[in-house]
Structure formats: structure tokens, C-alpha cells
Structure 1
Amino acid sequence: MDSPPSPTGQQHPVQPAPAPLGHGPAGSAAGPPHGARSHGTAVAPAWARPAPRRDRGLTATVVMIVASSAVLAWVGMFLLDRLGPPAFIICGILALVPLGICVLGIWWVDRWEPEPRSTLVFCFLWGAGVSVGIALLVGPYFTLALLELVPSGSADLLGMVIQAPVVEEIAKGMGILLLLLVRRRIFDGPVDGIVFAAAVAAGFAFTENILYFGSALLTAGGATVYQLGFTFILRGLLSPFAHVLFTACTGLALGLAARRAGNAWIAPAFVLGLVPAILGHMLWNGGPALLFGDFFVFYFLLQVPFFVLAVTGVWFLRRSEQRLTQRRLGEYAGAGWFSDAEVQMLATGAGRRRAMAWARAHHTAAPMKELIRRSTRLALTRQQIVAGREVEANREYERTLLGEVSAIRSALLAGTA
């Protein structure tokens, strides 16, 4: 009996062709990787599953999550004491709405090569806890320093237009920088930087929204419902991505630096990324009052076009990442690890949709999703090798990924034979 059509559209499951001796992506000039079987002048890509290794980066991430959670607990107690339990609960529920909108946006950006959940959890906790804590502790002293420089200035105006953008963007950016230094391997480029920045910013905005909603609720007097509703519409519905747009500049710069070998570009990229992040934040805080005189004029003339431009830029970055995945997996196809049809299946949006539809019909959606994920990780690891990033460590990781991909594919096709 014939086997069912494979997700590549061929009648029989695709079997990889042999890899030419010494030319496989994981091989070297001296020959194939250890463990490959030689057949004359070619090497069949046959692997045993490598022994699991301890992920030190994951351990460090867990430690950072615990520490950030402790800071978030302190910030939560501060807000609870300042607002009182009823207002804290009401405003916390309202703040979930813009947070949910941001999460959907992050999911859209991160669909091609999803980041580990542990890193996204850390980013959110850093934004919601550590960044807010830094702003609460450092902000007042920074404003006092500004008043020393500008004695005739307004503390509220200086705090809103200068102190908040500078302190908050540095605090948020430090979380992305820390993640890059600790989990460099998973930080592949600008899209990753934007995703991590968005998660940090979403966390910060969540906590800040609780504070703003609470202030509107407690200081509105007889107009409580109106003032709270107005604040919720402005911050929660019209501008949920404001902090995301600012901090994404820092993430983009660090993501570009992450693509280069070594660490020399990281510090300059961090500073360069902070410049547009801080300036954009300053414009957002001061523009309506100082330049336009009306929030809605400012919003529709400047903020909406900027948001559309940002979304367009992210779309092009995602397309670039897809082309990169296809190009790098194509190199493995040339060495015999994949067929050309499999590259199309794994490295194009249409191919992935067909593959998942096929897998769901054959009750193998989970392994197919894992095959796509590990193959994409393989392509991006190959890119790191090409860029000269930690070549020896990434070659070892490449071999591990090749073994995992081969094992998953074999199990997937065996289950539908």
C-alpha cells in the first residue's frame, strides 16, 4: 500500500540525498561530522540523538525571573498601598486590556521563529517590575538634578518631558541588554530585539497603566467614571503600543549588533538605540502640550503615521528573516540534509501552512510544529556560524540540531506510513 502524500506534496516521504564528503554544513574540510556513515564518496546524514546538555543560559534566565519577580512584588505592594485594594484590583483588570493588545502584537511579530517563553516571561517581569522600580527610585533624584540645572523650570514639566523618557528608556533597555549578554545564542537579529523590547515595554506599560488609571480614579472627584474612562481610552485603546514603539528602537539596535561577531558593537548599539527611544518618548510626552496644543491633532498627524511606518518596517524585517531561513536551509539541501521540497515546506509561509494542515489530518501536528521550529533554529544557527559568532560552540549546537531534526522527521514520517 502506498504511503499517504507527504507534506511536501510528494507521494512518498522525502528521503535526504547523501551529503558530499566534506561539504555538509556541519562538516569540515577533513570530512563529515563524527558519527556519519561513509558510502564511497558521499556521507548519508544519519545521526544518533545527542546526549542532552545542561543549558546554562536557561538556568541564568530562571535566576533572573526569580529576581525580577521579587522586584515586581515590591512594586505591587507599593501600588497596593498607594491606591488601596479596590482601586488596585479595578485598575489591574483594566490594564489587562492594553496588555492583551500588546501580547497579540508580539505574537504577530514573533510567529516565524518564536522565542523561548522563559525569555519573554523575564522581559515582561523586567518591564513590569525592575524598570518601574528603577523609575520610582531614580526618577525623583533625576528631576532634582534637572532643577539644579534649570532653577526656573517646572518640576512637573521637566519630569514629564526629560526625566521620564531618559530614566524609563534606560531602565527598559537594560533588560534587553542583560538578556543579550546572558542568552546571546537565541538573540539572532533585529526581529528578536524588537520582540524582547516589546515584551519589556508591555510589562512596563501594564504597571504604569495601573498607576495612571488609579490616579484618575482617586483624584477625579465627582467625575470619577468620566475621568477613568477618558484615561482608559487614551492609554488603553488609542496608544497601547506607545512604550513598545519607543523601546523597540533600543531592541532593534541591539538586534543588529547581535548579528556581528564579538561584543564590540553591543555598547555603541545600546547608546545609539536609546537616542531615538528617548527622543520619541520625549515627543510623545511633550508634543501634545508644547507643539500641537491638542492631543488628537498630535495623535493623528504624527503618532498614527509613525505607527504605520513601524509596522511596515517590522513586516519587511520578518520577510528578510524568512528569506534568510530559506537561504540557509537551502545550503543544507545542497549538502543532502533536506530536499528542495522540504526547504519550501519549512522556510515559506505557504509551505508551513500546507505542512500543518497535512499534520493535523494525520494527527501529527505537535511533531510537525517542532520540526519547523528546530529547522528554523538550525538555519539561524547556521547564520551565526557564517557571521563568525562563537563558531566552535555553534558548530557543536548545529550538530545537535541536525540530529534532532533528523530524529523528529523520521518519527513524523514513520507515524504516518
Structure 2
Amino acid sequence: MAAAAAQPRRSPVPVVGTIAIVAGLIGVVVVLGIVWSETSAASTFVAFLAALVPLSVVMAAVLWLDRWEPEPRRLLLLTFLWGAGVSTASALGINTFLARAIHSASGDPGVTQLLAAVAVAPVVEETLKGAGLLGLFLLSRRLFDGAVDGVVYAATIAAGFAFTENVLYFARGEMAAALGQVFFARAVVSPFAHIIFTTCMGLAIGLASVRARRVTVALLVFPLGWLAAVGLHALWNVTSFLGEAFLLGYLVLQVPIFLAFLALGLWLRRQERRMLAARLGDYLQQGWFAPHEVAMLTSLRRRADALRWAGRYGVRAKDAMAQFQRNATRIALLRNRAVHGRAPADMEARERRLLASLSENRRAFAAAFAR
């Protein structure tokens, strides 16, 4: 088939990835078990279903951002489980331990609650989420072709964390006959809160990955993203102590932050499209693409139209078109890395394989079309 000559984006070391997935699943089970023991089986089940609502909204936004070059599903599962299991279970234990230590030292429940929410939780939770993102980057740097990749992986970790945390809060709310209020506060008012925090780290490491030749640059930039994540997280938690002024704080502080996050997503999508147009334009000048192909490849709507059109000629034609689109995106990203001084050692060999695959894609589609 057409994709045989092209090498797909590889996931991290299989053993490490499998261990991370298993650890994530165990973490989810542990947290759900704790929720069950604190509330009831019925409350846990209802909370689990309720938590799926904001999760579906958040993941739809993440996948929308990731449409140009979708990340491997296995890695999205891995990062989701890191957030939902490893990060959440670890944070639950560490936060509880530190909160008890603060209470023992201060003896004041109010001080304990404030410090636990503003000083402890943001640091602990963003550190745990960031550890998964940083580990993925160090294990498989070649997966990070730009800011979008960093944002997508960071947002998926955060989505997993928010999902499990929502199960905990929804179950407690259901037991207290206040599920509606808790659901409104977390699923309607702030479904993207954790995503916004953790995305700061993803943006930092994503930008550094494509702009810097040395991995040490990304490691130096990452703490800046962590500081931003912790700061925004702490700021959000502070608003929960404003009482009647919460709405004002939400409108003045959180709404502008969300709008900025939305604008960032739109900008990243636009930048990725411009990058594809520029890099595919390089190959257009060399005769590897026709103008109508570049026009199709740089428009998500035209890509979808091309797939539907190819589907009229059978499964093989549609598969060939899908592979053609993926390989064209891969070669554009490969060229972009070279433009920014990050060409891999096997750049020429990989470029030849992708160009050969693109030619094979065309032949496969032509053969299906001729039938």
C-alpha cells in the first residue's frame, strides 16, 4: 500500500509507554475506589457519567485543534491516563498530606483551606501534570513538531486530570444533594480551567521544540511555562474565596483569560496552516506538487471534500487520498524542522521515503480511479 514506504511517527519506548498506561489505569481505579468509599457506588456512577459531559466538550476542542496532523491515538490515551490516573491519584495523596501538615502547624481550618488551595494544590498538580508532558518530550522529542503538538498533549493530560477530579467533586455534590450546583460550577463555568493552566507548559515546550536545536533550550523554557501554569491555577483558586464577589472576579479575571486561550487556539491553527502552505510551496517550486494539490492540502474543508470525492471510487481510492494527505503533512513538517535548524540526521533519507510514498499514493489512487 501507499504508506508502506513512509515511516509513521513513532511513540515513545514501547515498554515505558505501556508502563505509563498501566500506571494510569491503576491510578484511575484507585481514585474511583476512594470516591466510592467516601460516597457510594450510586453516587460514583452518577458522577462518572456527569464527568463525561465536560470531558466530551474539552476533548472535542483538543481534537479540533489537532486536525492538521492528528497525534497518535496511543499517545493521546497515554497522556490522558497520566492526567486521569497518575497525576490525580498522586495529587490526592500529596495534597491531603500537606493540608494535614499545615493544619497541624496552624491549627486554623481557614488558613489550612486557603493555603492548601492557593499554595499547595497549584504547585503539586501542575508539577505532576507537567512531569508527564516533560517525560513524553524527553522520550520522543521527534513527536513535537511545533506549538500545537505541545498544547495538544498538555491539554489531553489536563483533560484527564479534570475528568477524574470532576468525578470526585460530583460524587460529593450528589451525596450532599448539590450535584446541580457543583456541575454548573465545574462543567459549565470552568470546564477549560485545567486545560488553560497546563497548556502554558505545552506551549512553552512546543515552541522551544521547533525553534531550538538543543533540547536544553526546551528544558530551560519549560520552567517558565510551569510558573505560568501554577500562577493561573493559584489565581483561579483565589477567586473561589471571594464569596459574593466571585462573579465579579470571574468576569474580570477568568473570562479574559479564557478568551485569550481561545484566541491562542485560533492563532495556532492559522499558523500551522501558513506553515504548511509555505513548506509545501517549497516542494511545489521543485515540481513535487501541483498547485491544485497544495490548495487542497492547505484547506481542511478541501481535504474533507477530497476524501469524500475519492470515496466515490472505493475504499482503496479513499485510503490512498488519506495517506497522500498525511504524507504531505509529514514532509512539510520535516522541511519545517530543517528550516529552523532542527533537521534530523536522516533528513535526506526520510525525505526520499516520503516523496516515494507520495508518488505511490498517486499511483494507487489512479489505479482505483481507472477501475
Aligned partners of 1:288 and 1:294 also within 8 Å: no
Q: Does 1:231 align with 2:182?
A: yes
Distance 2:82 2:104 in 1: 31
How do 1:8-407 and structure 2 match up within 5 A?
50=5, 55=10, 57=12, 59=14, 60-143=16-99, 154-218=111-175, 220=176, 224=177, 227-259=178-210, 260-290=212-242, 293-363=244-314, 364-389=317-342, 391-407=344-360
Q: Is the CA contact (8 Å cut-off) linking 2:155 and 2:195 kept in structure 1? A: yes
Task: Please give the alpha-carbon distance, in whole angstroms, between the structure 2 residues aligned to 1:48 and 1:190.
Answer: 26
Mapped to 2, the partners of 1:335 and 1:204 lie a distance apart of: 47
Alpha-carbon distance change, 395 to 71 in structure 1, aligned in 2, over 3 angstroms:
farther
* Residues 145, 190 of structure 1: alpha-carbon distance in 2 compared, 3 angstrom cutoff: farther
How many Å apart are 1:142 and its aligned residue?
3.6
For residues 101 and 279 of structure 2, the distance between their equivalents in structure 1, rounded to whole angstroms, comes to 52
- 1:178 alignment partner AA: G
1:54-99 CA distance string (max 9 Å, x none): 9563624334223322333333323333333111111101111111
Q: Give the whole-Å Cα distance in 2 for the aligned partners of 1:65 and 1:288.
A: 33
Shift of residue 145, structure 1, vs aligned partner: 6.1
Larger mean CA deviation between 96-105 and 298-307 belongs to: 298-307
What CA distance in whole angstroms lies between the structure 1 residues aligned with 2:347 and 2:23? 29
Q: How many residues align?
A: 364
Looking at structure 1, the residues matched to 203 and 106 of structure 2 have their Cα atoms a distance apart, in angstroms, of: 33
In structure 2, distance between residues paired with 1:140 and 1:195: 29
Is the CA contact 2:200–2:226 (under 8 Å) kept in the aligned structure 1? yes
What is the TM-score normalised by the length of structure 1? 0.80
Coordinate RMSD, CA, aligned: 2.5
Retained in 2: the 8 A contact 1:261–1:388? yes
Measured in 2, the distance between the counterparts of 1:279 and 1:48 equals 45
Q: Give the match for residue 7 of structure 1.
A: none
Deviations 1:351-406 (A, max 9, x none): 32442342233333333222212211111122122323252134433333223222
Whether the aligned pair in 1 keeps the contact of 2:6 and 2:357 (CA below 8 Å) is no
Residues 324 and 361, structure 2, Cα contact 8 Å, conserved in 1: yes
- For residues 245 and 288 of structure 2, what CA distance do their matches in structure 1 show? 60
Distance 1:210 1:54 in 2: 34
- Partners in 2 of 1:100 and 1:289 — Cα distance? 29
> Structure 1 pair 62/339, CA: closer, same or farther in 2 (3 Å)?
farther
Unaligned 5+ segments in structure 1 are 1-46
Q: Secondary structure of the residue that 2:346 maps to in structure 1?
A: helix
Give 3-state SS (helix, strand or coil) of 1:113's partner. coil
Q: TM-score, normalised by structure 2?
A: 0.90
1:289-327 deviation per Cα after TM superposition (whole angstroms, max 9, x unaligned): 24x743322223322222122111211111111111111
- Render the CA deviation track for 1:140-188: whole Å, top value 9, x for unaligned: 3444666699787711111111111111111111111111112211211
**Could you list the per-position Cα deviations for residues 89-125 of structure 1 after superposition, in whole angstroms to 9, with x for gaps in the alignment?**
1110111111111111112111121111111101110
Q: Is the 8 A contact 2:32 2:44 kept in 1?
A: no
Counterpart Cα distance in 2 of 1:318 and 1:53 = 22
* SS of match in other structure, 1:154: helix
Structure 2: how far apart are the matches of 1:183 and 1:266?
A: 13
Larger Rg: 1
| In 2: Cα distance, 1:359 partner to 1:193 partner | 32
| Amino acid across the alignment from 2:351 | E
Structure 2 regions of 5+ residues with no counterpart?
A: none
For 1:391, what is the secondary structure of its paired residue? coil
Find the aligned partners of 2:33 and 2:9 in 1 and give their Cα distance.
36
**Structure with higher helix content:** 2
CA separation of 1:74 and 1:349: change in aligned 2, threshold 3 A: same
Identity of aligned residues (%): 40
